[in-house]
């Protein structure tokens, strides 16, 4: 017997059982199930199996037919997908583009040019808002790093 239960299930010694059998200096083939012997294998295919040519030669079974259904499954523990319906789309769910500020699409699918913002007034904000600094040197134009 082995704790992995492969030895009991399949009738062949698993790696654990073979290691234990080798320590005791016995032959691992002695511990294999007898159905795996070559003599049993040859006996299985010793008789001739005749083929049937059509369905009329089949034997009728007296047992009733059993319909096998798929196994019952549980729903996976994920959050289910949500699908938007036309009713939800018509009920006021609207996209507003952050690029051109129009309704009906988003920034990713926008084909319009971006809206140019008006220039900032120095008197409203103050002189320090218009001055950008890069490495301690004031500059008036935007820079790209």
Query: Tell me, what's the pLDDT at 3?
Result: 83
Query: Tell me, what's the pLDDT at 91?
Result: 57
Q: What predicted TM-score, i.e. pTM, was given to this entire model?
A: 0.32
More confident residue, 5 or 125: 5
Measured CA to CA, the distance from residue 33 to residue 97 in angstroms comes to: 73
pLDDT at residue 133 greater than cutoff 50:
no
**For tokens 């196994």, what's the residue?**
71
CB atoms within 10 A of CB 78: 6
Q: Are 96 and 109 in contact (CB under 8 A)?
A: no
More confident residue, 83 or 12: 12
Longest dimension (CA), the chain: 106
CB atoms within 10 A of CB 25: 6
pLDDT at residue 30 greater than cutoff 60:
yes
pLDDT at residue 131 greater than cutoff 50:
no
In this structure, is the dihedral angle defined by the CA atoms of residues 139, 142, 143 and 145, taken in order, positive or negative? positive
**For tokens 């083939």, what's the residue?**
29
Q: What is the pLDDT of residues 70-129, one digit of tens each?
A: 888 887 777 777 776 665 556 555 678 888 888 878 888 888 877 776 655 545 555 544
Measured CA to CA, the distance from residue 30 to residue 16 in angstroms comes to: 16
Query: Tell me, what's the pLDDT at 92?
Result: 58
């Amino acid at each position: 017997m082995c704790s992995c239960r492969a030895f009991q299930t399949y009738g062949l010694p698993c790696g654990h059982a073979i290691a234990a059998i080798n320590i005791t200096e016995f032959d691992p083939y002695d511990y294999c199930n007898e159905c795996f012997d070559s003599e049993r294998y040859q006996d299985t295919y010793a008789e001739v199996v005749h083929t049937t040519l059509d369905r009329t030669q089949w034997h009728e079974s007296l047992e009733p037919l059993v319909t096998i259904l798929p196994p019952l499954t549980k729903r996976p523990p994920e959050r289910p997908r949500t699908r938007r319906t036309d009713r939800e789309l018509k009920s006021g769910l609207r996209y507003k583009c952050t690029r051109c500020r129009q309704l009906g699409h988003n920034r990713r699918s926008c084909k319009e040019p971006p809206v140019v913002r008006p220039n900032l007034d120095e008197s409203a904000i103050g002189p320090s808002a218009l001055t950008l600094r890069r490495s301690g040197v004031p500059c008036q134009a935007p820079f790209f790093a």
